[in-house]
Amino acid sequence: MNVDFYYDQIKDAKLEVLDLGNHVNSFALRKYPDSKEVNSLILFTPVGIVITGELSPHGRAVVAPGYGLEWFSSELDPDALALSFLDLEWVWSKAFAYFKSLVDQFEEERQTLEDEDCPPSGRFLPRKWRVKGREIVGTEGDALKALLTVKEFLKTPETLFDALPVYEDSQTGLWVCP
């Protein structure tokens, strides 16, 4: 999501009260404040918020059921607000970057332990792992590296879920995803 694009679209816009009714409150968002043209309409209804018009996300109507004017006008985290109105999109490169950062963090921690002459324990011990049906023997970091070797593993949330590394717990016999 390009936040700058959305900001540029509304940074000079004017929000005007159209009607404060008993059940519905309506506001006009004008991209050009001196214009009479309404670029978007925002409705606060008893069942949710509706935003429509060219300044709405994706240029079409979006609905946030269960929310109202009080919630919308409060201090909101930008991510929480975006999740309420924007479509979620899976970006495999972001998933790759996230798991790559976990591998890098693991390697840094492992190096620190080696530098301090600490024996490996816990997640730093070699185990038998399964990554999308492939068995490997290695550390948690090795299992995460195996996950990163096949782009298709990160293509969708579903393929990622199926490919997440798991190991067999020696005490319970259950397969565990750390």
Q: pLDDT by residue (tens digit) across 29-61?
A: 888 777 777 788 899 999 999 988 876 666 667
How far apart are alpha carbons 72 and 81 in whole angstroms? 8
> How much is the mean pLDDT over the chain?
85
| Mean pLDDT calculated for residue range 52-75 | 80
| Structure tokens belonging to residue 157 | 């949330």
Q: What is the amino acid identity at position 154? A: L
17: nearest Cα among 69, 66, 61, 62: 69
The pLDDT assigned to 14 comes to 84
Entry pTM: 0.59
Bridge partners for 139 per DSSP? none
Q: pLDDT by residue (tens digit) across 138-174?
A: 999 999 999 999 989 999 999 999 889 998 887 888 8
How far apart are alpha carbons 65 and 108 in whole angstroms? 44
